[in-house]
Chains A and B, each alone.
Chain A
Amino acid sequence: MEYRIVRGILFVSPGKEIDHFRAERIIRYTESLLRQQRFRTLVFDLADTVFMDSAGVGMMIGLYREIRAWGGAVFIIRMQKGIRRIYQMAGLQRIIPSYDDESQFMAAMEGGGKDNEG
């Protein structure tokens, strides 16, 4: 699990496998960071993530609810094919837009692309 902050945006790299064991930890750390600093944008960078089950879906929905409390939004970048299947099956695209890479995401943020996403 890794965190970085770029231009006020909190990026989380959850690691290779997001199961219930890992998800609980990521939720705890991320929740406390979000609450302390009131980030308005949270991004899951899934470049290294090769496994995610329903606990990962629960983690994303939980953190989405958290940040929505003060009008924030959640995004995913660099999602691999296997994870995309889970993402679509769970209907996450309705609340968490996905971008292929960071520069595409940053460009969308600057161009107000956030408002154009579903």
Chain B
Amino acid sequence: MRDEMKLTMNAIAENEYFARVAVAAFSAKMDPTMEELADIKTAVSEAVTNAVVHGYDHKGGILEIDARIEDEWLEIEIEDEGIGIDDVKQAMEPLYTSRPEENHAGMGFTFMEAFMNELEVVSTPGQGTKVKMRKKIEMPAAVRRKKRSIR
């Protein structure tokens, strides 16, 4: 199965909910478990929140979400044109936060990494950040057998 969805929205806090629910709804055709759906929602929410808070410093800006299904793989790209990240490796360290005075756990990338199979962060200071995540949604064996017999 192949499918793709593109969304462009304003990177504001109010859209965090919309973004994660939209990607979760798109992935529903892969028949994910409740836990996999929660994983996807959390990972998307973390990436979008990073764009809202760090990329655009709460001022809003263009946020592009590209979600693709390729057989058993769900690929999600979340891209902003914000300030970017100087040191991606440091930003991805558990508990690191660039804003210790705010109530941030510093666990955004940790959760993305934990809930998705693959995570790649590409950032250019002054130009923006792109987060690429992939997750394998395996069809239960019983469903796979049934689909084959229908064909």
Instruction: Give residues in A with beta carbon < 8 Å to B.
Output: 17, 19-21, 23-24, 27, 51, 53-55, 57-59, 61-62, 82, 85-86, 89-90
Contact = CB atoms under 8 A, between A and B. Distances in A.
B16 A58 contact: no
Contacts of B20: 19
Nearest to B45: A53
Given A27-B103, A53-B49, A21 B42 contact: no
A23 B16 CA distance: 12
A58 B42 CA distance: 14
Contacts of A20: 13, 16, 45, 49, 52-53
A53 B103 CA distance: 13
A35 to B, nearest CB: 15
Interface of B: 13-14, 16-17, 20, 34-35, 38, 41-42, 45-46, 49, 52-53, 102-108, 110-111, 114
Contacts, number: 66
Nearest to A16: B17
B13 A53 contact: no
Q: Tell me whether chain B's interface is mostly helix, strand or loop, or mixed.
A: helix
A35 B104 CA distance: 20
16 contacts: A19-B20, A21-B13, A23-B103, A24-B13, A54-B105, A54-B106, A54-B108, A54-B110, A58-B103, A58-B105, A58-B107, A61-B105, A82-B34, A82-B38, A89-B107, A90-B105
Contacts of B111: 53-54, 86, 89
Contacts of B103: 23, 27, 55, 58-59, 61-62
Given A54-B46, A61-B105, 6 more contacts: A19-B16, A53-B49, A54-B105, A54-B106, A82-B34, A90-B105
A106 to B, nearest CB: 28
A82 B34 CA distance: 9
Contacts of A89: 107, 110-111, 114
A19 B20 CA distance: 10
Contacts of B34: 82
Given A59-B103, A82-B38, A53 B46 contact: yes
A51 B38 contact: yes
B116 to A, nearest CB: 13
Contacts of B13: 20-21, 24
A21 to B, nearest CB: 4
